[in-house]
Structures are given as C-alpha cells and as structure tokens.
Amino acid sequence: MLEIRKLRKSFNLDRDNILVVFDEFNLNLKANTTTALIGPNGCGKTTLLNLISGNLKSDNGTILLNGIDITNEAEEKRSIQISRVHQDPSKSVSLNLTVLENLALADKKGESFNLYRLIRKQNRDRYMDLLKSFNIGLENKINEKVKYLSGGQRQSLSLIMASMKNPNILLLDEHTAALDPKASVVVLEKTKELIKKNKITTLMVSHNIKDALRYSDRIIMLDSGNIVFDRPSISIKESEILDIYKEKLQEKFAS
Ligand SMILES: Nc1ncnc2c1ncn2[C@@H]1O[C@H](COP(=O)(O)OP(=O)(O)OP(=O)(O)O)[C@@H](O)[C@H]1O
Ligand SMILES: [Mg+2]
C-alpha cells in the first residue's frame, strides 16, 4: 500500500556541510497493519514522516501510495489520504478555534465549504458522539477554544480529527509522549480502536518500547537513516530491543 523506493534526503547545514539523513532508503507498508518506528534521537523518524506526508521534499527516490506515485504531490493534497498526529499537542489543531470548529474543519478536509453552515445540529450530534467515546469529558468542552484544553484533551481531539475522513495512512509521531500515563493509555487504546474500526494503515513513532510492542504488528528500528531491525512485534521481547539500543550506543561512543 505504501512503497518507498531509493529515497534520499539531505539537509544543507551550511555552505560546506551536508547532512545525508536517508540514502537509497526502501520501505513497504502492508495495508491495514500498524508498524512501530523506533530508534535513537536524530536517526530520521520525524524526517521520514515529513517525507511521507509531503511536508519535506526528497532529493531523490519514489513514494507510491496504492501504486500511485505521490512523490511530487503537495502536502495539502496528500493530507486527504495521509493523516498525521504530531508529538506537540498544539500542532495538529487550530488553537484559536473551538473544539466544534476544529471538528467541522477536519470533517470537510479537501472540500470547499462554509464553516458555519457545517456546524448544523446533525453534524454537532455526530461530533458529540465522537467526543463522548473518549470518556474524558471532551463533549463538555465542545464550544471551548482548543487553546484552553489540556495536552491529553488536545491529542484526543487531534486523533479524532485525523481519523474522521477515513485516511489510508495515519502517521503518529510520539503522539502520547507529552501525556501523563493515564491520558497516554486512553489515547493509545482509542488509537487502536480507530485504526481497527476504519482499517487504517499506521506508522507510529515511539520511544516507549512497551507501547511500540503492544500497539503494533511490526517493529522497525532506524539507526542513522538505515533499517537495522525489522520484525513482527509478536516475535520480539522488550529486552532484546533494549540490548540492540545498548549495542548501538556503545558503537556510537566507540567511534
Ligand atoms: N530542517 C532540518 N534542517 C537541518 N537538519 C535537520 C532538519 N530536520 C531534521 N534535521 C536533522 O536530521 C536528523 C534526523 O532528524 P529527525 O527529526 O528526523 O530525528 P528523529 O529520529 O525524529 O529524532 P527524535 O527521536 O529526537 O525525535 C537530525 O540530525 C536532525 O538534526
Ligand atoms: Mg522526531
């Protein structure tokens, strides 16, 4: 469903300094699976998500979605099929709009519309049901500006918005990293439920190995832009992954 072929991405740090994050990078994601993407800070996880979402342009290589070449497609156009929740709870929502207005906007992604006509009773009831399903009282905040919500409430809203239009792919970049343990479990369980119900192919970045294993079918570790590990999650223990991390860190300090 998602196929990345020979992708290259570099950043020009200054006049004589180029950082090559990916070179000849390949990845295939099967439809209706959840892949956890792990790896040390700076290994390229967010950059990869940016390349898939179209937020960054690759230097070379091809990205195919359901066999269609989307490599040069604009981020806005891709966003209809590729949804994303960022690590920062402020990034995936419009802070100065209310919960209701944010939901209405996500509901009409990619279409022309009049926001205020959208917020009809019929839609409002549907949005209320979605908010209630999280069980954290979000439905009582439907007319509140999103800037007054907590991080957990914002991420729950971001997740509802990201899954509303039934995307092909959901990109999650450490989307529970800023949440307390209870809110993190709520958001992760809801993530799992939404992915399953809507059959969304998901790529989930996490530094939490337990969560990565529990909520994925496949686990991939990146190190300096290379896949160093790619296994079904069911076949691997947390301790094995921690050992690989240790090994990688020792190599880094030794070099
Ligand atoms: N816009 C940019 N300009 C220059 N360098 C960048 C840019 N974006 C990312 N990088 C560099 O690319 C490398 C990969 O960064 P990236 O953000 O993808 O890492 P990451 O795996 O998401 O790390 P973390 O776990 O800390 O979030 C890093 O060395 C980073 O400094
Ligand atoms: Mg990152």
- Using one digit for the tens of pLDDT, what is the confidence trace for 161-174? 998 888 999 999 99
Which CB contacts under 8 angstroms, 24+ apart, belong to 240-243? 241/38, 241/209, 241/213, 242/209
Percent pLDDT > 90 in the chain is 66
Instruction: State in Å: Cα 23 to ligand 1 middle.
Output: 15
What pLDDT does 75 receive? Answer: 92
Q: Which two tokens stand for residue 125?
A: 């009831």
Please name which ligand lies nearest the alpha carbon of 223.
1
- Using one digit for the tens of pLDDT, what is the confidence trace for 89-148? 888 899 999 999 999 888 887 666 666 666 677 788 889 998 998 888 899 999 999 999
Q: Would you list the domain boundaries of the chain?
A: 2-92+168-254
Instruction: State in Å: Cα 151 to ligand 2 middle.
Output: 18
d(CA 175, CA 208): 11
10 Å CB burial of residue 9 (0-12, 13-18, 19+) is buried
Instruction: Please give the number of the atom of ligand 1 that sits closest to the Cα of 43.
Output: 21
The CATH number of the structural domain formed by 2-92+168-254 is: 3.40.50.300
d(CA 51, CA 29): 15
d(CA 61, CA 72): 10
